[in-house]
Each structure stands twice: as C-alpha cells, then as structure tokens.
Structure 1
C-alpha cells in the first residue's frame, strides 16, 4: 500500500484538513452500503480459536506522556515481551503511539512513534479524542511490516498467548462491550449512519480496542473514525448521551459505514472484578476498581479494606510488591495483582522518579 508522508502542519491547516475530511465523509455516507449480516459472537467458553493463525499482527497502543499512562504502558510492554515468543502467539512488533507531539523519557525503553495531538481546543479536554487522529498519522507515516494490527490500550495485560483472531482481511476480530448499544440509541446514531446505509444493527457493539484488523482495512476506516468522533463531540446531544465512550461509538459507526463487520470474541478480553476467571481469555483489562472487604466480598462503589484501582496512581506508579487480596477474592483479581507485581519487580528503575 502506497504511503504519503505527512509534514507537521499548523493548527489552522489541520482544521482545514478536518473540514476536507468532513466533506469527503458526507459523500461517503451516501454511497457506502454496509453489510446486513448479524455479527458472529464466539462462545466465551469455546476452546476453538477460529482466525488467521500464523499471520503476525503489530501491537499498537495510543498513549500520553502523563505518569498515569506511562506506568501502565510499561507494564503492558513487559507482558507483551513475555508472551511474544510463546507457542500460539502471533504477536509481531510493538509501537506505543505517543500523541503528545514530543518525545518522552520512555522512548528507549518502549518502541514509540510520536504524533501530534489535535489542535488546541478541538479535543474539548476529552483526551481519547486524540486516538483516531493518532492512528491516522501513524498509518500514514510509519513503516509497518505486519499485515494486521492489534489496537490495544495501556491498561491491557496479555494473560495468554494471543493468536490472530481476525478471520482473514475482511473480518476483523473485536470484543463486544455490553454498554455499546447502537439499537437503543438509534435516534442519535442516525445522525451519523443514515437510513440508506441499512439497519442500525449493522453497527457492532465494539470500540476500536481491542481489535485485530487488516492494516489496509484500518487505513480506510481511520479517517472516517476521526471525522465521526469530531462530529459527535461537537453535537451536544451526542456528547451527553455517549459520554466517555463516545469515541468507541465513533469507531463502531465508522466501521459500519465502510461495510465492515467484526467477529465478536467474548474470549478476547476479561474485565475484573466482573469476570471472575482467566480461563482461555487473552487480555486482562483493569479499567474497573477492585474493592473487597477482608472476607473477600466485593464492595464495588465503596472503597474496600483491600483495593486495587488504577486511578489511585494518577500521579505516579504503584509501589512494588502490592499486597495480595484476601482469601476468597476471584482468580482474575489475584492474577492481576500478581502480574503487576512481577512487572514492577522486573522493570529496571520502577521506583525511580522519571522526568520527561
């Protein structure tokens, strides 16, 4: 696939560029027809991995230079390295896409690619709005040798060797999120996915991450994803309805506008404390706080006598050797803390204060 280099542009030129993309999108939305098949949802208990085994995928996560993002990225990269050479893994190379516009102090530790943030004010202090714009720039400028890409996030930990779950180039693999509900939000969705494109059920209940997708297919979706995200954020009704998952809805809509259906894999990811066992799942996502009393009972919504919550460490990394949870706490939470502890023990200079 031919790539064109992107030079750094002024905020004004970027905004003008966004205007052009919006114009292109308006044309695309009238001519692109989406597929009408019902999405496939693989059983979360299935031991059969249906995908494209042996086809390596590039691991890409977007991040900032903030301490909160940095310590999560370091743990994620540690477990990527541990899992990469294991039997059954199709992990290729790794890139932290840093959308701060400048290098930080982790460039030598983690393979990183610096891209520009959105022009000042355009993200409305919603930092993840930079994610689609970051992918547009990275796909345009980077040399990516793998044919597939795993879009991941800093708070992901690989817990089992991850094969390529995509079913060929036209069927990316995604994770179904219970809170992404296009059909329940049809009135809003129709602002971005007109009726001529087909039923709202064509839109998968996903975000961009985690997903394993053909590189050229992502190349087509990413500009639309960026444009839809910006349009959604500018619309007060949409912004209020979708909140912190707005950018996820935008990716789902953008994929449908390009006629792309994802194979939905419940085994792609687990999210403690709600998912209790690791089993055959591949990615542990520690986005939710884990609060328990000393009897091992969940006290979600109330700070527990024992807790692990990534938001407790907004200004710096968690200490080494975190205390293990009380007896009776689910395996998924115990495994999470053990994996964090292993990474923080093994990563050099973990306790040192890093300055950008």
Structure 2
C-alpha cells in the first residue's frame, strides 16, 4: 500500500517576481493576461519547473498547459523578449494556475531542495547546494584569492574534459571577503568547501568520454 502524495513543494524564485524586501520585481501582468486571459495574476506562484515535487498525476495534468504556454511565448516576439531567459519558468507557473495545482513554497533555510551559497551559511533543511550564485574570494584589499562560478565553465571543451575546481585557501578570520563585499565567515567557508569537495568528487568518479564521442560532439 502506498499513500497518495499529500503535498506539492517548490522553491520561490525571486528573479521571477518578488514583493519581499530588499527585492521588488513586479510580475509582468500584461503578458500573463495576454497568455491566459482572465487569470488571477496574484495567484501565480514565483516558481518554475525546478526544483519542484509533484505527483505523477499532477505532472500529467500540468504538462500540456506548460507546453502550450511555452509555444505561445515563443511565437510572440514581444512577450518572449519581455519575459526573457525565465520565460519557460513563467509558462510553468501560469500552467499551475490554469490547472488548479497549488504548491507550497519553502524559502531558503526551510526548503528541502536547495541551499544558495554564499547567501546561506549551510545546507539547513536542504539536500543539495545550488551553485548558480558565484563564490568568489577577494582579499580585504581587493586582490584575487580564489573563486568558483559556473560562468567560468561555458566553453564546449568544459563539457568534454571535466576540470576539477581549484582547491580553496585555508580559512583565516578577517582575511577574505566575497566579491560582493561581505566578509567570508568560517561557517560559510566550510559550507562552500563541502560543495566544492562534492563537485570534485563527482568529476573524479565520472567515466571519461571516448575520443570518438568527443569528435562527434560539436
């Protein structure tokens, strides 16, 4: 006997829309109404398709609307440009409303999904680190000390030849600050090290791509 799924969980994405300080990012209401006339824009959750947990039945229910709305956005240059790189996420959020699927949003520190570094000081309730935000160390006088950012690894060869992230410096109180300005604390340093060690471990375990496959890749 398997109990039916009782809860739908998601993570609020502030870059979609937010009314919580210090960030105010208004929802593109005109575009939402154009895509789904009569929709209650206040009910559109600031989420997207990942990370999210839904039952199989809910995925089957929401996917056709998600696909249709995504196609409608891509077909409308004005809407596509207005929604930008998160347009598919908006399509998913709007599809949730159209299909009547409600999700419980768990914020940083409470989410079972992901923890953002260096915004958070550790995993908290989450099971994984989200490495979208940069973790770049500067010395207090502004010199380069160490850094990891996914934007450092955007060339095709990075997908073909995995490159270990350089080792972090040892923590020294008052020596380093993040590129945005705040000082590096021991708690955040240890959390970042945990993430970097896990990423490097995964790359060490990865099976090298055969040369023939590399030749066909690009």
TM-score by length of 2: 0.72
Q: CA deviation at 1:319?
A: 2.1
Q: How does 1:194-273 map to 2 (within 5 A)?
A: 194-195=37-38, 197=39, 199-266=40-107, 267=111, 268-273=113-118
- RMSD value over aligned CA atoms? 2.8
CA distance in 2, matches of 1:311, 1:250: 25
TM-score by length of 1: 0.46
Q: How does 1:303-322 map to 2 (within 5 A)?
A: 304-314=144-154, 315=156, 316=158, 317-320=161-164, 322=166
Query: Residue 201 of structure 2: which of 334, 339, 342 is its match?
Result: 342
Q: How many residues align?
A: 183
CA distance in 2, matches of 1:216, 1:279: 30
User: Which residue number corresponds to residue 175 of structure 2?
Assistant: none
SS of 2:70's equivalent in the other structure is helix
Identify the range of structure 1 (340-349 vs 216-225) with the bigger mean alpha-carbon deviation. Answer: 340-349
Q: CA deviation at 1:333?
A: 2.1
Note the residue ranges of structure 2 that are not aligned, 5 or more in a row.
19-25, 172-183
Query: Is the 2:115–2:124 Cα contact (8 Å) retained in structure 1?
Result: no
Q: How does 1:1-356 map to 2 (within 5 A)?
A: 168=6, 171-181=7-17, 184-195=27-38, 197=39, 199-266=40-107, 267=111, 268-295=113-140, 304-314=144-154, 315=156, 316=158, 317-320=161-164, 322-325=166-169, 327=171, 328=184, 330=188, 331-349=190-208, 355=214
Query: Is the 1:293–1:306 Cα contact (8 Å) retained in structure 2?
Result: yes
Cα deviations by residue, 1:21-43 (Å, 9 ceiling, x for unpaired) = xxxxxxxxxxxxxxxxxxxxxxx
Q: CA deviation at 1:326?
A: 5.3
CA distance in 1, matches of 2:123, 2:169: 16
CA distance in 2, matches of 1:320, 1:246: 32
Query: Is the 1:294–1:326 Cα contact (8 Å) retained in structure 2?
Result: no
Query: Is the 2:62–2:95 Cα contact (8 Å) retained in structure 1?
Result: yes
CA distance in 1, matches of 2:88, 2:163: 32
Structure with the bigger RCO (C-alpha within 8 Å, sep 6+) is 1
